[in-house]
Structure 1
Amino acid sequence: MTEKIDFKKTLDAYQAKQGLFRIVEVPKLRYLMIDGHGDPNTPAFAEAIETLYPVAYKLKFAGKRELGRDHVVMPLEALWWAEDMDAFTAARDKSLWDWTLMIMVPDWADQDMFAAAVESAGAKNRPARLDDLRLESLSEGRCAQTLHVGSFDDEADVLTRMHHAFIPDHGLSMTGKHHEIYLSDFRKVAPEKLRTILRQPVRTATPGG
């Protein structure tokens, strides 16, 4: 029987505890990605999710069938950014947010497998944003992260502590994009029970920076 790999358990970058901030080294990883803008409570955001998962499962089945390699489909993730990052903490103005929705896939999922998975996913009930989907690697490197339990709208206090206390207290500054990993399916789980890894890439702070 083919061993099924669960990368949430084998990769340290997917480990986090509530109330504990820590620095992790995130390796170069490969993702299915779709970009968007604005409030996530919109049809465009839902359409992106509904495009990612069919292709992720096509890749899973292709890997098992063609390579004898199986894995647990990874949770939804997102990169978030805005011209003013305080849009995520103080103001929480969702209309200003840009995002990239993602699902991590194994490194054996190459561009040829991706193209075949896209074609297969589009054969019936073609997902609305299939033409916008891409396979791309992301190298985040050193990051600060923690686990948030609760509503997304209650993240602001945690992010404020991360951005303005933990990161500068460790001689670091923010770089790259805010990253969230949705360990719970927010379409099915009550807001107060949602488990979300909050991640922020960091670098050594420059004097006076």
Structure 2
Amino acid sequence: MAAAFDFKKEYKDLYLPKTKPMLIDVPAMTFIAVAGSGNPNEENGDYTEALGLLYAFSFTVKMAKMGDWQPKGYFDYVVPPLEGLWWGGGFDGRRIEDKDALNWVSMIRQPDFVTSEVHRWAREQVAAKKPGLDVGRARLVRFAEGPCAQIMHKGPYDDEPATVAALEEFVRTTGRAEDIADPPSAEALMDMLDADGGVPSVRLHHEIYLGDPRRTKPENLRTVLRHPVRPASA
């Protein structure tokens, strides 16, 4: 029996960078995404609800293999890790002045066979099984990040500033500059990503969570930190 396709293992350059910074050109990918704002640490808050919706959708699609209907082109796979785009709240990549003013888009990558038809089917399934979730917030988006610098952060999330500083210094030494462009709101970004035609670019602070803080000691957490870059003279 063939092993389930694991995006982390097949695309190590995207998901398993070293603790030494590196440059990467990030291609277009498909995500199920939920936008929101506010403190992600709020108990039973909006962020927690968003994660519940993302995982409900993602595992519904994955487990289609057990039902009477499978998407065209379906293959068995490991659900990719949770990711997040962050801005606002005085956040500069290192420090956050006001977590209550943060904007975020939380997302989980989907296989390319997840089309708008599959998205509608999965939302119907989730709505039937979990009527308390607002499935309308789960949007299927596709975007590219293009030229970026990234690094693996090991340890607690609160220790990320030192790793971000190392990433920023690396960017400078390569003759590049960070190219972060904050949208006005999370919903405005989602509207841009949801627009028909083309593959938009996203230029934000990006985190990929390879460890589950509920089950992993803080010192053992691994988080990919990714920043978009451009030539310093551009």
- The answer to whether the superposition gives a TM-score over 0.5 is yes
How far residue 92 of structure 1 moved from its aligned partner, in angstroms, is 4.8
2:174 counterpart of 1:174: no
**Which residue, 157, 174, 186 being the options, matches 2:162?**
157
1:33 aligned residue: 33
2:81 aligned residue: 75
Q: Tell me, yes or no, if the aligned pair for 1:77 and 1:179 is still in contact at 8 Å.
A: yes
For residues 104-139 of structure 1, what are the alpha-carbon distances to aligned partners after superposition, in whole Å with 9 as ceiling and x for unaligned? 011111110111011001102235332111010120
How far residue 33 of structure 1 moved from its aligned partner, in angstroms, is 0.3
How far residue 68 of structure 1 moved from its aligned partner, in angstroms, is 4.6
**Which residue, 222, 227, 230 being the options, matches 1:195?**
222
Segments of structure 1 that go 5 or more residues without pairing to the other structure are none
Q: Whole-Å Cα distance in 2 between the matches of residues 115 and 136 of structure 1?
A: 13
Q: Whole-Å Cα distance in 2 between the matches of residues 63 and 82 of structure 1?
A: 40
Q: Tell me, yes or no, if the aligned pair for 1:13 and 1:25 is still in contact at 8 Å.
A: no
Shift of the 154–93 alpha-carbon distance from structure 1 to 2, 3 Å rule, reads farther
Q: Whole-Å Cα distance in 2 between the matches of residues 157 and 120 of structure 1?
A: 43
Letter in 2 for 1:128: L
Letter in 2 for 1:97: L
Worse overlay, 176-185 or 153-162: 153-162
Q: Tell me, yes or no, if the aligned pair for 2:154 and 2:221 is still in contact at 8 Å.
A: yes
For residues 7-59 of structure 1, what are the alpha-carbon distances to aligned partners after superposition, in whole Å with 9 as ceiling and x for unaligned? 111112112122x1000121111001001112210211110000000110111
Letter in 2 for 1:58: T
Shift of the 68–135 alpha-carbon distance from structure 1 to 2, 3 Å rule, reads closer
Q: Whole-Å Cα distance in 2 between the matches of residues 142 and 73 of structure 1?
A: 25
Q: Whole-Å Cα distance in 2 between the matches of residues 187 and 59 of structure 1?
A: 24
Q: Tell me, yes or no, if the aligned pair for 2:90 and 2:97 is still in contact at 8 Å.
A: no
Q: Tell me, yes or no, if the aligned pair for 1:121 and 1:127 is still in contact at 8 Å.
A: no
Segments of structure 2 that go 5 or more residues without pairing to the other structure are 180-202
Q: Tell me, yes or no, if the aligned pair for 1:63 and 1:109 is still in contact at 8 Å.
A: no
Shift of the 91–31 alpha-carbon distance from structure 1 to 2, 3 Å rule, reads closer
Worse overlay, 62-71 or 6-15: 62-71
TM value normalised by structure 1:
0.90
Q: Tell me, yes or no, if the aligned pair for 1:57 and 1:73 is still in contact at 8 Å.
A: yes
How far residue 147 of structure 1 moved from its aligned partner, in angstroms, is 0.7
Q: Tell me, yes or no, if the aligned pair for 1:80 and 1:100 is still in contact at 8 Å.
A: yes
For residues 45-93 of structure 1, what are the alpha-carbon distances to aligned partners after superposition, in whole Å with 9 as ceiling and x for unaligned? 110000000110111123676245111101111011127542x424553
Sequence identity percentage = 36
Q: Whole-Å Cα distance in 2 between the matches of residues 8 and 159 of structure 1?
A: 22
- Give the secondary-structure state (helix, strand or coil) at the position aligned to 1:69: coil
Q: Tell me, yes or no, if the aligned pair for 1:50 and 1:127 is still in contact at 8 Å.
A: no
1:131 aligned residue: 136
Worse overlay, 124-133 or 37-46: 124-133
How far residue 202 of structure 1 moved from its aligned partner, in angstroms, is 1.1
For residues 168-198 of structure 1, what are the alpha-carbon distances to aligned partners after superposition, in whole Å with 9 as ceiling and x for unaligned? 2111122210110100012222222111111
Q: Tell me, yes or no, if the aligned pair for 2:14 and 2:26 is still in contact at 8 Å.
A: yes
